[in-house]
Amino acid sequence: MPKFAETSIPAVFQNRVEQYGSKAICAYKKEGVYTDISWQQINEMVRNLGYFLINRGVKPGDKVCLFSPNRYEWWVSDLAILSIGAVNVPIYATNSAEESRYVIDNSDAVMCFTATKEHTDKIVSVKSKLPNLREIISYDPLAKPIDGVLELSAAYKEGVSAPKADEFDKRIRDIKKTDMATIIYTSGTTGNPKGVMLSHNNFFSNVQQIYNVDPELFARSEELTFLSFLPLAHSFERTCGYYTPVLHGMKVYFAEDFSKIVENFQEVHPVCIVSVPRLFEKIHTGLLAKVSTAPPVKKALFNWAMGVGRDSLPYICNNKKPTGFFGFKYRLADKLIFSKLKAALGMDKLEFGFSGGGPLSVSDAEFFLGLGVTVIEGFGLTETTPVTNTNKRSKIKPGTVGVAVKDTIVKIGDGGELLIKGPQVMMGYYKNEAATKEVFTEDGFFRTGDIAEIDADGYVKITGRIKDLIITSGGKNISPQNIENALKTSTFIEQVAVIGDNRKYLSALIVPAFGDLEKWAKDNGVNCSSRQELIKDPKVNELYAKEIENFMKDYARVEQIRKFTLLEKEWSQETDELTPTLKLKRRVVNQKYKDIIDKMYPEDQS
């Protein structure tokens, strides 16, 4: 009989520790080598940290912030915080000192865990403005003592010296399903972020819903390995790449960071990943760029194999193996091309790639499916813990986000808005009743803000975001995301923002994929000493005009890009054009590049 009733993640974790003991729960890079940590070792740290928190007077319902990139200490802190009935308030590792101050202040946090010297320094710099913040606990050792800052190793020692095992266990048992587990601050493309309150039941229900999508996959859970690289501060990675593996006894490897993701893939060879579309986009465009410079015979062989991959989609999307002569062709293509590509990428064992957090282009989805990598697109929001919809291995429809998960109702409301009801929908926004009321219908459905269609099989297709809709001066409603996804299929386009709200036509700001562009320039006799010169070159601009024409050929006349401007610097969270989950901040882009945008609309000037 399990030690704890499984109604919360901390209870589940304790039961799995009893079940798996000395087996590895996760692995992290230590001195260049992936090093295992067992379930028992993690639990020892969780309990000691929990005892420390109890000793320091952290009560059930108290808020504790967690300011760190993905690392095993994030898990330890989270499990310790939740186990004693407190509330974990994660802060994106890339947040500024002021953004972090807002989260700590708004959430009423009494303590904050920090990862590196940089994270600690940011919180120390704003601590005087945070009267409720009692202590800062640093994961990394301090170079010199800092008033009000304690090292994690010292917190563990304090827990060891004053164990509170009975109190710790009692607090886990006292957790009610309806108790708040976390406040996740949305990355906010406009104004201050809102604190999304998620309960223990929100998380526990969503993990169960994910299991019900593909029980066969989870039946082999102990064979499945995950690679964790999306921010744990977001509900997507936390629910799908952390709580789900914990519930099912899967081993998780922590990637070093996104810049080393391909290298980590090659070391780990994961069976499962959860990812945003950006990873699939980068791998796809990178492979196409390499093939474009390959010898003619290799290029022809690759193109033949890609054709076979496309023809295999009716089989793969219905979870069937190609048969007959076509089956022979597919096996040959796999032997000659697909298997070698997947091995080179570290994707040779990848069975399940779950994509969310933004729309995955059909071309990217079909490319990986054709290779034999099962990329499953789903949908959700921070406010829904996050998963509400997903494709299934038994029936994949590229371009859709699939059907509603178990116990979830989806329907289309006014203006085509997708509405959702289910046990994973949030408690509300912290200290913001007006915003909470605004996002729920009178009959209790959550307003997603996304425009969608539902087909006869119940598969949902997201066609745009209400707040992002461009309404031209001619009154036409246009979703920029679909156009941007089409344009990013070009190997020469890294990032793009479609402009046109209250304008006569659409234009675009484009960040080139400079690696591919610079190679093209060299091959085509374009000699430029800088990127600034390169983006102004007439031949380069002619290339982009042709790329836009090619990738926009299936779009209506009103959706065509009439003018564009190339930019020399990539957008990032640090430069404020992207949110921590890599979504475009359209308001910021429109303000920051106002002068450039205005030049693309000379007739609008007085």
| DSSP structure string for 89-144 | EEE-TT--HHHHHHHHHHHT-SEEEE-SHHHHHHHHHHGGG-TT--EEEESSPPSS
**Contacts of 451 by beta carbon, 8 Å cutoff, 6+ apart:** 415, 416, 417, 418, 462, 463, 464, 465, 466, 469, 479
> Is 8 in contact with 200 (CB distance < 8 Å)?
yes
Q: Where are the beta strands (DSSP E) in 443-560?
A: 446-454, 460-465, 470-471, 477-478, 493-499, 506-512
Determine the residue type at 37: I
Give the predicted TM-score (pTM) of the model. 0.88
- What is the per-residue pLDDT across 118-133, written as a single tens digit (0 to 9) for each? 999 999 999 999 999 9
Residue with tokens 């798996």: 20
The residue written with tokens 């990862």 in the block is 115
Say which residues have a Cβ less than 8 Å from residue 468's Cβ, sequence separation at least 6: 479, 480, 481, 586
226: helix, strand or coil: strand
What's the longest Cα–Cα distance across the chain? Answer: 77
Helix (H, G, I), strand (E, B) or coil at 199: strand
For residue 54, the Cα-to-chain-centroid distance in whole angstroms is 33
- The pLDDT assigned to 359 comes to 86
Spans of the chain below 50 pLDDT: 606
Place of tokens 């692995």: 27
How far is it, in rounded angstroms, from Cα 159 to Cα 163? 6
Q: The dihedral of CA 112, 115, 120, 122: what is its sign?
A: negative
Question: What local confidence, expressed as pLDDT, does residue 453 receive?
Answer: 96
| CA gap 174, 104 in Å, rounded | 26
Note the pLDDT of residue 578: 87
200 contacts 5 by C-beta, under 8 angstroms: no
Q: Which amino acid, 362?
A: V
Q: What is the pLDDT of residue 191?
A: 65
Q: What share of the chain is helix, strand, coil (3-state, %, to 5)?
A: 45, 20, 35
Q: Is the dihedral of CA 480, 482, 483, 485 positive or negative?
A: positive
Residue type, 231: P
What domains are defined for the chain?
1-175 (3.40.50.980), 201-423+441-464 (3.40.50.12780), 469-604 (3.30.300.30)
DSSP 8-class letter at 399:
T
**Tokens read off for 120:** 């600690």
